[in-house]
Structure 1
Amino acid sequence: MSISVDDRTTITDLIKLHGHLTDRGDFDGLTALFTEDVVYDVSALGGTPLAGLAGAREAALALGDGNPVAHHVTNIVLREIDDGVVHALSKGLGVRTDGSVDSVTYEDTVERTPAGWRITHRVVRPRRTPLRD
């Protein structure tokens, strides 16, 4: 079964909304994107996998002004891996207060839940070396 056009639009919008909510500190709004027990893996950035929305919120608040002022997402590619489970690959750009920009790759597992499509697992990988996976 392939992903419907409506599901593609919904999942893509879900991923795009992350930056808007995060940039304005609307952590309560993240329940529209992630499951409560999401694993948010930032180990490739030097952290540890964050457990649940509460863990992600605590980490963002602990970073404080070290957070990017703007998160942008692009190049979203969706692939169905099981009925009701989609792998989403996207690129992220984080603009810092000094104007520098960081690049990451997001690897998301998105599942159809009773509340709709939600990200259940996210891996964030920094992009620091060109022409490498």
Structure 2
Amino acid sequence: MALTMDDRIAITDLINEHGHVTDRGDFDALSTLFTEDVTYDVSALGGGVLVGLAAAREAALALADANPVAHHVTNIVIHEAADGVVHARSKGLGVMADGSVGSATYQDTVERTAAGWRITHRTVRPRRTPLRD
């Protein structure tokens, strides 16, 4: 399956929409971005590996005011593997209530479902050291 330009736009929009949905606390809309059984790996941030939308919602609620007030995504790169699996890599900036900013890399596995493109696996890695992967 070769990705069309429409596929690439849909996947890019999917990744971009995450910040809007998360920042407004619209946890019901997470199902428009992720599969119900998504694996959301935030272990590098101390949050462990979350499985399922309910676990992601609970983790965000537990952080409460420690959540970023703004998530910004940039530098989205989409690759299709030989087996048809789609991988996307992007950069994220999180702006905290005190004005501090953190940088992260998102590594996503994206799948076409009956409802459209959805993220099935996301790994978030903070960027704290320059010139290293």
**1:92 equivalent in structure 2:** 92
Amino acid paired to 1:14: L
Q: How many residues align?
A: 132
Letter in 2 for 1:110: V
Question: Counterpart of 1:22 in structure 2: which amino acid?
Answer: T
Aligned residue number for residue 41 of structure 2 = 41
The percentage of counterpart residues that share the same residue type is: 77
Segments of structure 2 that go 5 or more residues without pairing to the other structure are none
The superposition leaves residues 89-111 of structure 1 with CA deviations (integer Å, 9 ceiling, x where unpaired) of 00000000010000000000000
1:111-122 matched pairs, under 5 angstroms = 111-122=111-122
SS where residue 132 of structure 1 aligns? coil
- Give the 3-state SS of the residue equivalent to 2:107 in structure 1: strand
Which TM-score applies when normalising by structure 1?
0.97
Matched, 1:73 2:73: yes
Shift of 1:114: 1.2
The RMSD of aligned alpha carbons is 0.7
The answer for the alignment partner of 1:64 in structure 2 is 64
What residue number does 1:127 align with?
127
Where structure 1 has 5 or more consecutive residues not aligned to the other structure, the ranges are none
Offset at 1:131? 0.4
Deviation of the 1:2 alpha carbon: 2.7
Distance between the aligned counterparts of 1:53 and 1:76, measured in 2?
23
Equivalent residue number for residue 18 of structure 1: 18
Q: Which amino acid aligns with 2:34?
A: F
1:105 aligns with 2:113: no
